[in-house]
Structure 1
Amino acid sequence: MNPIKYGAACQALVDTFNALESGQKDHNHWGDVAMNAVRAEIKDHYIAEQNRRCCYCGREYPTDNKAVWDGEHIIAKSVAPHFMFEPCNLAASCKDCNIAKGEDEVRTNPRRKSFSDQSKHYRIVHPHFDNYDDHIRWYGDVVKPLSPKGGELVGMCKLWRFGVTKAGAEVAPPNALVDGMIGVMMDPQADAVTKAVAIEGYKAYVRAQPQKAAD
């Protein structure tokens, strides 16, 4: 992915921030009205650069409406405000992935002072330094991590949420047997017969719920 190259006006604002003393670099500066143009330029660039796909879940959101997208800081701006406008620390994410990831630490060495442009220094799949398909595979709505970094991304951004929603897990109360059936349905390695049995068992369970509630 090509990192953003700021226009002259936005670059001047970024340079002013970067010139501040370390203790003066506050992540809340991101939301200042004066930075509106910078935030808009960042979103416009990465929405287009990523072909309107979230940098974490890879789902397409076919709109340029900036309200739909979040300007994502791979290293959270609250954790390292000095990297807030670093082009390779920026991307566009869907709101659900951004909220799930929150302020989680993504670096293997949080004490590192300089910004790293090497994949090995990040715990998750990095939008700039990793090939997504080397680490994550989607089987429809079911996600399968292909590497430890892929597994970290799945957990941090809750990428399993698509498969769970598709399975209808939110309509059923916690139940170990049901959880097992959902796990089989989401497992791309499960054989066809086992998966079919799990699907039918789960359907029967869901159909029974309204009757139980009426009893």
Structure 2
Amino acid sequence: MYRLTDAEKRSIKEYEYEWDEPKLKYLKYKIKSSLIQNPLNDNICYYCKSPLDCGTTPGDIEHIVHKSKYEIFTYEPINLTLACDRCNTAKGSEDILITDLPDSYTEEDYPLHSDAFKIIHAHIDLYEEYIQIQDYIFFVGIDQNNKGENTIKCCNLNRLDLALSKIKQVKSENAVSSPVKKMINGAVDSEKTLKEIEKIFEKPSHEEMFEAIINLNKDINTIKIVNQLSKIDDLETNLDPEKITDLKKFITCFREIEAYYNMIDELHKRTNLLSQLMDLPLKDDVILPTMGKLLLNRRGLQQLKEEISTREFSRFQKRSKTVLLTLLEELLDSYDLSNVEALLPRLNIIMLVMQCVTDIYKDKTIIELLPGLNPTLVRTVSQDAERILPYECYNSQISIMFHMKSIYEEIFSNWDKVVFNKSKVLARKINHFINK
């Protein structure tokens, strides 16, 4: 690891830790050279283990703890490693410290314990204790504290173009060349190297998997869209076909649900009437048992209409009675309310699906690339992904690829965003009403 001289430390402070300061460029080159020449780095990206460019700019210097939040660590060698452009960009400025440092922190406060970091640290942790690379290309977190999994997510190591890069790397090395070279060059532990070669020849052929992943990488638009989709929390859980069906029913039945909400909301504004209704058997005919609320089903609404029409309630004005009866009659005459009764108990789930769809359409990359998709393309993508579906436990993007046909048909096509936004507002109103 590079060691800063006292003069270099003074220069760093003089130029206020500015990473792009021209007069500190020489120091950046010295640090980068030290990282490149370190045999432990092996001239590869620390995170994805892909070879770095061997030209004049081999990879980037990566700030483990981001310089935007902790500028004093900007030139600290322990905070620097080598990373490829893709991992560096994916990691971005994400805060990887478990506990924030005080505002008065100094260089001496840089954490030196593994448990201070959410992801693997290049100079503190042993990579292989947290991440295994399965079948040459799939990154799998293996530690109990999910530090490996956090690293995979933070650096987007599940991106399928990285898998393609790994396949090319394996093919170029022919998978067995490395240990053979060790034998030829006289490896220190020849028995261990022989076992490594035997293990490679014992493995089943990966050609079919490799071919499928190569096919999946043929369309850049699809890869980039899937890349963005994989960043959305609980995407596959929330885009379950049954949940999508519920959302579409909610949107289709917007007027019915809105009419029901307007009537129920109007009823609950009459607090004097509501307290008297609570003493009647009406509360047995509800869609949802909610404290202090009467979310009545169709039978309950019919009984409510009869009670308001025939019974005298104290402090219940004639005008209020007319308004409620009009709303009740319109609601009961126009709708059977079966959809309301089926969907309201699932409102929380529907709102999660709505948020997921909102996140998709808020993603500028997805929206910009969406015109590049078509039914034939997404069908082919889903078919190719199905061939490697057994590997989805290693890479969530495979599963997203497999579901691209349904995502395209259900989310990306024929979607009325105006009605969707109105439905989202209505769902929030109902949810607020239920929980207030």
Q: TM-score, normalised by structure 1?
A: 0.72
1:152 and 1:4 mapped to 2: Cα distance?
27
Q: Deviations over 1:59-105 (max 9, x none)?
A: 22262x34231111100111110111111101111111101101001
The corresponding residue for 2:34 is 45
Instruction: Give, in whole Å, the separation in 2 of the partners of 1:123 and 1:178.
Output: 36
Question: How far, CA to CA, are the matches of 2:52 and 2:28 in structure 1?
Answer: 19
Q: Does the residue aligned with 1:72 lie in a helix, a strand or coil?
A: strand
Per the alignment, residue 71 of structure 1 pairs with 61
How much does 1:4 deviate? 1.0
2:96 to 100, 103, 106: 106
Q: Which amino acid aligns with 2:154?
A: M
Closer/same/farther in 2, CA of residues 179 and 155 from structure 1, 3 Å limit: farther
1:13 matched to 2:8: yes
CA–CA distance in 1 between the matches of 2:69 and 2:164? 31
Give the aligned partner of residue 193 of structure 1: none
CA distance in 1, matches of 2:155, 2:389: 19
Q: What is the CA distance between 1:55 and its match in structure 2?
A: 1.3
Partner SS state of residue 31, structure 1? coil
Tell me the residue number matched to 1:208: none
- After TM superposition, the structure 1 stretch with the greater mean CA deviation from structure 2, 102-111 or 175-184, is 175-184
Is contact 2:53-2:59 (8 Å) kept? no
The answer for the alignment partner of 2:46 in structure 1 is 55
Deviation at residue 115 of structure 1 after TM alignment? 0.8
- In the alignment, is residue 90 of structure 1 matched against residue 80 of structure 2? yes
- Name the aligned partner's letter for residue 4 of structure 1: Y
| Counterpart residue identity of residue 51, structure 2 | E
CA–CA distance in 1 between the matches of 2:63 and 2:93?
Answer: 9
Match of 1:142 in 2: 138
Contact 1:100/1:157 (8 A) holds in 2: yes
Q: What 5-or-longer segments of structure 2 have no aligned partner?
A: 166-209, 223-372, 406-436
Q: Deviations over 1:171-211 (max 9, x none)?
A: 355679559735433446xxxxxxxxx9xxx8xx9xxxxxx
Alpha-carbon distance in structure 2 between the residues aligned to 1:183 and 1:117? 40
Counterpart CA distance in 2 for 1:115 and 1:30 is: 18
Structure 1 contact 43–69 (Cα < 8 Å) conserved: no
Specify the alignment match of 1:194 in structure 2.
Answer: none
1:101 and 1:157 in contact (8 A); partners too: yes
CA contact (8 A) 1:142 1:160 kept: yes
Rg larger for: 2
In structure 2, distance between residues paired with 1:55 and 1:163:
16
Distance 1:100-1:146 versus aligned 2 partners, 3 A rule: same
Aligned length: 180
1:4 to 2, 5, 10: 2
Distance 1:131 1:159, change over 3 A: same
The answer to whether the 8 Å contact 1:163/1:186 transfers is: no
Mapped to 2, the partners of 1:145 and 1:155 lie a distance apart of: 10
Please point out which of 378, 391, 409 is paired with 1:185: 391
> What is the CA RMSD across the aligned residues, in angstroms?
3.0
Pairwise CA distance, 1:144: 1.1
Number of the residue aligned with 1:31 = 20
Write the deviation string for residues 132-163 of structure 1: whole angstroms up to 9, x where unpaired.
01111112111111121110110011111123
Alpha-carbon distance between aligned partners in 2 of 1:143 and 1:37, rounded to the nearest angstrom: 36
- State the 4+ residue runs in structure 1 displaced beyond 6 angstroms: none
* Aligned-pair CA distance for 1:164: 6.9
* SS of equivalent residue, structure 2 residue 61: strand
Q: Identify which of 99, 112, 118 aligns with 1:123.
A: 118
Structure 1 segments unaligned to the other structure (5+ residues): 189-197, 206-215
SS at match of 2:133: strand
TM norm structure 2: 0.37
In 2, Cα distance between the equivalents of 1:56 and 1:42?
A: 19
Q: CA deviation at 1:5?
A: 1.8
CA distance in 2, matches of 1:66, 1:152: 32
| Segment drifting more, 118-127 vs 170-179 | 170-179
Partner of 1:163: 163
Counterpart residue identity of residue 14, structure 1: K
Q: Equivalents in 2 of 1:156, 1:122: separation in Å?
A: 12
Query: 1:79/1:179 Cα in 2 relative to 1: closer, same or farther (>3 Å)?
Result: farther
> Residue 93 of structure 1 aligns to which amino acid in structure 2?
A
